[in-house]
Amino acid sequence: MAAANTQRLVATHSICSPISQRAACCTPAFVLENIDEYFTDPETWANYGLDTPNRDSTITALEVYRDDAFIASLSGDALSYLDDDPDLVYDQEYCYYVRTQWYISEYDAYVYGSNSNEACAIPRLLGDVDGDGYITVDDIVIVINFILELDTPDELEFMMADVNVDGAINILDVVQIVDIIIGRAAGNSRIAAPGAEALYEILTTSFTGSNPSLDVALRYDGDLAGAQFTLSYDESRIVLGTPVLASDGATVFAKETAPGEMTVLVFNLSGDYLDLPDESFVSFPVELSDDRATGQMQIDFISAIAAGPFGQDISASSRSASIDLNAVPDAYALHQNFPNPFNPTTNIRFDLKDAGEVDIAVYNLLGQKVKTLTTGDLTAGYHEVVWDGTDNHGVTVSAGVYIYSLSSEYFNQTRKMILLK
């Protein structure tokens, strides 16, 4: 036999079309590679006692063998489909090989290629990730776990979860599975204008108050069936809690997929489209790691995906944000100065639960005001002033015990400090 047969069967798909929830029929596809190399291989022709003809002929038939039994002769070329293979048992593996038949005009004869290699496939329904023969919410849960990296798909699971066959598992596939389950019919969705983009935007400008939150808006002028995005942030500075949706109906799933990376999925199991309020779409409670944190932190989108009706991939952009850290204490406080005793300067920290007018002043033991350190309206938050041991005229005062006080509408406190020679 021909030793140099390079004709190769590269794929035999027996994935069923998800038209119905049950695998009713399967459509294997056969893809042959290296046809020309095979055709011009002199050894192949020598087996027929012929010289290598010109490549002026096409495949006249593709004979399909399943588990060594001839099952069909297909017309066509290097890619052929078997429309229906009704004998297939769901979830069982079948191995196919093909044999090509050629008509060679130069010799007015039919010749056969030798058998291709075997390619095996399992009839499965796209979307039926757990392989039980039905597409149900169980399959959605598995796909969500893949997206949130709670579980890793094997090759077959990946193939079944990637319902739109784009090489990635994401919200687009989830929406398509939901559509299969609910049997959505086309034609009742609000399609956006051509070129319309979805936009993810961080609305929060500062983490302030006793219960700071991170609010994300999603804007789109049309129907969206699902949303998926991944945020990156400095996990040493904030902890994001469980997100909540501004509107009822849809469900939100979230997971810290890596340190400082939060992946969020939103869709509606009933298949209803998402409610997209002008303001917050998804809101995370935020916990500051350092409750005296100040400065700014960056929050970026690593990815942003928007799923239109039927899992259509809607172009999505995103807007990152630089957020002010401005922690606010739960209670008022005037802290002990440091260093203490001191010379020549000392620091005085105080906490304001609310914004308001505040006086911080230094008195001597006779009760005479020596220096006003701060007076006027201050923001809620953690504050600090420095006393350099001088009075209101800029003259250094004598060593000894001094009293400092915080006076405000809701809180007053005094403490002692010692200025050394």
By CB under 5 A, is residue 162 in contact with Ca ion? yes
Taking CB under 5 A as the criterion, the residue among 132, 149, 287, 290 binding Ca ion is 132
- The tokens describing 340, both together, are 């203490």
Backbone angles phi, psi at 181, to 5 degrees: -65, -45
Cross-strand bridge partners of residue 396: 390
- The three-point CA angle 134-137-143 to 5° equals 95
CA atoms of 157 and 163, how far apart (whole Å)? 11
3-class secondary-structure state, position 220: coil
Choice from 41, 139, 179, 351 touching Ca ion (CB under 5 A):
139
Closer of 166 and 290 to Ca ion (Cβ): 166
Q: Which is nearer to Ca ion, 5 or 228 (CB)?
A: 228
85 vs 173, beta carbon nearer Ca ion: 173
> Smallest distance, Å, CB 134 to Ca ion?
5
* Core vs surface per residue 78-108: b (16+ CB within 10 A) or e: bebebeebeebebeeebebbbbbebebeeee
Q: Binding residue for Ca ion (CB under 5 A) from 41, 85, 157, 173?
A: 173
CB 143 → Ca ion: shortest distance, Å? 9
**Could you tell me the smallest distance in angstroms from the CB atom of residue 159 to Ca ion?**
10
The least CB distance from residue 12 to Ca ion, in Å, is: 21
- CB 154 → Ca ion: shortest distance, Å? 15
* Structure tokens, 83: 């429309």
List residues bridging with 267 in a β-sheet: 226, 251
- 183 burial type by CB count under 10 A (0-12 exposed, 13-18 middle, 19+ buried): exposed
Residue 64 or 126 with smaller CB distance to Ca ion? 126
**Residue 357 interacts with Ca ion (CB under 5 A): yes or no:** no
Segment 21-50, which members bind Ca ion (CB under 5 A)?
none
128 contacts Ca ion (rule: CB under 5 A): yes
Nearer to Ca ion, 176 or 283 (CB): 176
Q: What share of the chain is helix, strand, coil (3-state, %, to 5)?
A: 10, 40, 50
- The piece of 15-23, 33-41, 71-79, 166-174 that touches Ca ion (CB under 5 A) is 166-174
Q: How far is the CB of 13 from Ca ion (least distance, A)?
A: 16
Considering only residues 5, 7, 80, 164, which one is a binding residue for Ca ion as defined by CB under 5 A? 164
117: left (phi over 0), alpha (psi -120 to 50) or beta: beta
DSSP string, 336-378: PPBSSSBSS-EEEEEEESS-EEEEEEEE-TTS-EEEEEEEEEE
What is the rounded CA–CA span in Å between residue 54 and residue 44?
13
Q: What is the nearest approach in angstroms of Ca ion to the Cβ of residue 21? A: 9
Note whether 179 binds Ca ion by CB under 5 A.
no
Closest contact distance (angstroms) between CB of 136 and Ca ion is: 5
Q: Between 139 and 179, name the residue whose CB sits nearer to Ca ion.
A: 139
How many residues sit close enough to Ca ion to count as binding (CB under 5 A)? 10
Contact 27, 19 (CB under 8 A): no
Q: Which range of residues in 10-18, 27-35, 167-175, 201-209 is near Ca ion by CB under 5 A? A: 167-175
Q: Is omega for the bond preceding 259 within 30 degrees of 0, making it cis?
A: no
Please list every residue from 46 through 85 that binds Ca ion, using CB under 5 A: none
Question: Cβ closer to Ca ion: 5 or 164?
Answer: 164
Name the minimum Å distance from CB 29 to Ca ion.
19
When the beta carbons of 224 and 238 are compared against Ca ion, the nearer one is 224
Characterize 223-239 residue by residue with b for buried, 16 or more Cβ atoms within 10 angstroms of its Cβ, and e for exposed: bbbbbbbbbbbeeebbe
Q: Which of 139, 121, 129 is nearest to 160 (CA)?
A: 129
Q: Helix, strand, or coil here: 38?
A: helix
The answer to whether residue 176 forms part of the interface with Ca ion (CB under 5 A) is no
Pick 175 or 323: Cβ nearer Ca ion: 175
Strand partners, 103: 110
Rounded least distance, CB 184 to Ca ion, Å: 18
- Please give the single-letter amino acid code of residue 197: E
Residue placing its CB nearer to Ca ion in the complex, 93 or 132 = 132
Residues that bind Ca ion (CB under 5 A): 128, 130, 132, 134, 139, 162, 164, 166, 168, 173
